Amino acid sequence: MHDLSLARGTLDRAGLRRRDPDLVPLLLKDPLTRILELVEGRAQVIESERDCALRLRAPEEQDAFRLAVFLGQDSQGTSYLGVVGGAPDPDGTTVWRTLREVGALLSDRDAGLFATMQGLANWHAAHTYCPVCGATTEPDQAGWIRRCTQDGTEHYPRTDPAVIMAVTDTADRLLLARNPHWPEGRLSVLAGFVEPGESLEAAVAREVFEEVGLVVEQVGYLGNQPWPFPSSLMVGFTARTVDPTLHLDHQEIVEAVWVSREDLREMVLAGSFGISPTVSIARRMIEHWYGGPIDQKVEPTTPNR
Ligand SMILES: [Zn+2]
């Protein structure tokens, strides 16, 4: 499975340049630097009927006082910085969108830029104190680490692996389930976080057994994409069960159904089924099983993964 919405970045991250302590200050003085400003999880975009592009800008004086991270460079040598802005657009004349809203509509470069910046911004916001001694931390290495102001320990951006799985039975029906936080009719494939000491495949088998009581085998890799809400990497798998008898853990799953392709088409046509949005790996996995795109006129507004 490829062309996942958030796994399309094209920039060279140029990691070795992060070691230069003057990199960010110098790039902020260069009018050719392209700035992606993030304000409360939103970036400024230019929308057309068919697609959407990030509105990148030249550096501004205020950027020197903001959290700024080096996002990479393109093949023409243009450098890209992300900055975390302070206040939402004051005049309201420009369009600001979340990654969930526009991730599937952006170009490869823009989708990668936004996903990287969103993940880094989330990490910085949540790691302002040292986990070793509790003192404050500050950004270093062009925004790719935080360093403790007391003991000097270095702390790196975190990515939490999560597995997501398209479980099928011997009749090739797909298992769809609803967790308690989703509205009625909203169904998706199962997912869960990988635990310490566990392989990805073992996490798939454990999560499926815990949530719906199925024993799965033939766990196969499908694809992966970053999901920075706040810091996941979603790794997609297929898995098969011989015995489709469900035993739900009602704290995790309120409803689970086996669907054939015919069932799914009827549910979509009847409007009784809310499917995950195109930006999500879940949607792409369901379509991968289905054998093609699933048309749904109204995209859900509360995407899960
Ligand atoms: Zn410390």
The model's pLDDT over 267-278, given as tens digits with 9 standing for 90+, comes to: 988 888 888 899
pLDDT value at position 185? Answer: 87
Residue 245's identity, in one-letter code, is: T
What residues does 259 pair with on adjacent strands? Answer: 174
pLDDT value at position 92? Answer: 65
Q: For the chain, what is the mean pLDDT?
A: 94
What predicted TM-score, i.e. pTM, was given to this entire model? Answer: 0.93
Would you give the distance in Å from CA 155 to the centre of its chain? 21
Phi, psi of 193 (to 5 degrees): -80, 145
Beta carbons within 8 Å of 22's beta carbon, 6+ residues apart: none
Q: How far is the CA of 230 from the centre of ligand 1 (A)?
A: 23
Q: How far is the CA of 1 from the centre of ligand 1 (A)?
A: 42
Q: Which of 180, 157, 300 is nearest to 250 (CA)?
A: 180
pLDDT value at position 298? Answer: 47
Rounded distance between C-alpha atoms, residue 231 and residue 233, angstroms = 7
Q: How far is the CA of 91 from the centre of ligand 1 (A)?
A: 41
Q: How far is the CA of 93 from the centre of ligand 1 (A)?
A: 43
Rounded distance between C-alpha atoms, residue 177 and residue 222, angstroms = 19
Q: How far is the CA of 63 from the centre of ligand 1 (A)?
A: 27
Mean pLDDT value across residues 100-120: 97
Q: How far is the CA of 130 from the centre of ligand 1 (A)?
A: 5
37 pLDDT above the threshold of 50: yes
| Tally of CB atoms within 10 A around 234 | 23
Which tokens belong to 191?
Answer: 């997912």
Q: How far is the CA of 147 from the centre of ligand 1 (A)?
A: 8
Kind plus residue range of the DSSP H or E element containing 101:
helix 99-102
Q: How far is the CA of 143 from the centre of ligand 1 (A)?
A: 18
Contact 65, 4 (CB under 8 A): no
Q: How far is the CA of 151 from the centre of ligand 1 (A)?
A: 5
pLDDT value at position 90? Answer: 62
pLDDT digits (tens, 9 = 90+) for 194-203: 999 999 999 9
Question: Distance from first CA to last CA of the chain, Å, rounded?
Answer: 16
Q: How far is the CA of 281 from the centre of ligand 1 (A)?
A: 37
Mean pLDDT value across residues 166-191: 95
Q: How far is the CA of 142 from the centre of ligand 1 (A)?
A: 20
302 pLDDT above the threshold of 70: no
Tokens 């004086």 belong to 61
258 pLDDT above the threshold of 90: yes
pLDDT digits (tens, 9 = 90+) for 209-251: 999 999 999 999 999 999 999 999 999 999 999 999 999 999 9
Q: Apex CA 12: angle with CA 36 and CA 153, to 5°? A: 80
